[in-house]
Structures are given as C-alpha cells and as structure tokens.
Structure 1
Amino acid sequence: MYATRSRYHDMMASVKDFIKTHSVPQDLAERVLNYCPKDMKADMCIHLNRTVFNEHPAFRLASDGCLRSLAECYSEFVQ
C-alpha cells in the first residue's frame, strides 16, 4: 500500500515541479492537477486504503458507498 501511495505522491511532485519550472499559468495548473474525474479519484482512494478496509473489522460490513466516502475523506485528511 505504501509503495503505491509513494509512487502517486512522487508523480504529483514531478507534475508540480514541472508546473513551477515552466511557469504554467495558475488556471491551467489547477486544471492539470484536478484533471482526474471524481469517480476515478474515489476508486484510487479506495485502492490506496484497501489494506485498512480489508483487514480492520470495523469496515467488514460497510457498503461500497460508505467505503468510497471514507476513503475520500481519509485521503483529504492525510494530504
């Protein structure tokens, strides 16, 4: 799980560095960073947190929608 998260953060750092180095306008930079559709972001959040969801008993009976919401909130909290 941590390797996947680390790769994601490394990739985002590279994109942010590119934006800064090449003086990409703010509105374009925001569009690039927010490009990923909301549903895909939720899927990525679930994937990054799947170990916790699969191993912790508190999440065993949670619906898919509940896990999506929790994963999105957790990812916003961690960043």
Structure 2
Amino acid sequence: MYASIFGNVSAIIQRLYSGTARYQIQMLRVKEFIRFHQIPNPLRQRLEDYFNHAWNYTNGIDMNMVLKGFPECLQADICLHLNSVLLKNCPAFKDASEGCLRTFSMKLKTTHAPPGDIITHRGDILTSLYFISRGSIEILKDDNVVAIL
C-alpha cells in the first residue's frame, strides 16, 4: 500500500516538474526573441506579460494543436461545444442551422488578452470581429474611457 501512495506522489511531483520545465523553456525562448530583436522595455514587458497570462490560462497547452490531432468532424463537434454559449446567446445566430453553426464555430479563433492590453488602435484596419466571452473591455477615445463592455 505504501508503495502505491509513494508511486502516486512521485508521479504528481514529476508532472509538476515537467510543467515547470516546459514553462521555463518557453519563457527562455520569449526572452531570446526579445534579446535577438532588441525589443525595447515597454514592449518587452507586454510580451512577457502576455506569455505569462496565456500560460496561466492554458497551462501551456496549445489548443489549436490539440484540435488538429482529431478528424475534422470531431473538431467541428468540439468547436461547437466550446463556442456554444456564444452561439446560443448572440441573437445573430438564433436562426442558423446546426450545420452553419458547426462550420462557423470552426472558423472562430480564441484569443486571450491580458488586463490592460490594447486589442486595436485608432486607425487600424480591422480584419476580425471580436466576441468578448469572458472579462470586460474598455473603449477609449482620446485616452478617456467612454464605455466598458
């Protein structure tokens, strides 16, 4: 019995060390990128903050790579499930067929933005439509908050 307990504890500790090692390797890559491209300090800090935020949110798992390992029909089911709250609560999709929702959900890309990050700047050409599924967003005009969504 003791061997089983120690074996389980050992496996848990090994997983913790493995996750820490993966984090450190990825953070080292980010820092090497910053150093190689001589990224100035404010932007450097944003890169590191984004990496930390994304890692904490996903635990270092690249969901797109995981999804690509499944057949397309299963990917559609997974994407439909992951985006079901958005698709059910947004009036624009209320009359859409399930096939349409499955196809559309596969086109959606999940993006995480750390607090305080700027998603678009005034004058940017918008190539994406953003749906806020968690958190809030401030709308600024001339550095003044005009709305919080």
Q: TM-score, normalised by structure 1?
A: 0.53
The alpha-carbon deviation at position 46 of structure 1 amounts to 0.6
How far residue 37 of structure 1 moved from its aligned partner, in angstroms, is 1.1
How many residue pairs get aligned? The number is 53
Following TM superposition, the consecutive aligned residue runs of length 4 or more in structure 1 with deviations greater than 4 angstroms are none
- SS of the equivalent of 2:92 reads helix
Q: Deviations over 1:40-60 (max 9, x none)?
A: 111110111001111111111
The equivalent of 1:48 in structure 2 is 82
Which residue of 2 is the match for residue 60 of structure 1? 94
| 3-state SS, counterpart of residue 61 of structure 2 | helix
Output the amino acid matched with 1:12. I
Paired residues for 1:1-79 under 5 Å: 9-10=58-59, 12-13=61-62, 34-75=68-109, 78=110
**Long gaps (5+) in structure 1:** 1-5, 17-31
**Change over 3 Å in CA distance of 1:61–1:68 after alignment to 2:** same
Q: Which has the higher contact order (CA 8 A, sep 6+)?
A: 1
Q: Distance in 2 between matches of 1:60 and 1:33?
A: 26
Q: Which of the two has greater strand per residue?
A: 2
Deviation at 1:33, TM superposition (A): 7.0
Identity %: 34
Structure with more helix by fraction? 1
Amino acid at match of 1:40: L
TM-score by length of 2: 0.30
Larger radius of gyration: 2
